Amino acid sequence: MKTELEKRVLKCMNEALSDSLETIKPETDLRDDLEMDSMALVILQVELEQEFQFNFDPIEDDFVKIFQTFGSLCHYLENSGRGV
């Protein structure tokens, strides 16, 4: 069962992909498994910023690490306090 945070992230991912992801695991790789290209990742970033009402910091935030897997993205939002 997905947490509320995971549901919100999944909603943003569906918007970025223009697709409906039903099943996704924490280890699902955004680039390799979901074939998200740089444009889809930027759209996902914007969707997340709107959903959670914050802006990623291009200097402080390690985008490669954050946007690696579904789990890494949820972990970042949960531990940064932004996913509240």
Cα dihedral 21, 23, 28, 32, rounded to 10, equals -50
Q: What's the CA gap between 36 and 69, in Å, rounded?
A: 11
pLDDT digits 0-9 by tens, 65-75? 999 999 999 99
pLDDT digits (tens, 9 = 90+) for 24-36: 899 999 999 999 9
Query: What CATH number does the domain containing 73 carry?
Result: 1.10.1200.10
Number of domains composing the chain: 1
The pLDDT confidence band at residue 2, using thresholds 50, 70 and 90, is confident
Query: Could you give the angle at the alpha carbon of 19 between the alpha carbons of 84 and 33, nearest 5°?
Result: 80
The range of the structural domain enclosing residue 70 comes to 4-80
Residue 36 tokens read as 């998200």
The pTM of this model reads 0.90
Q: What is the pLDDT of residue 72?
A: 97
pLDDT the model gives residue 74: 95
* Residue 1 in this model has a pLDDT that exceeds 70: no
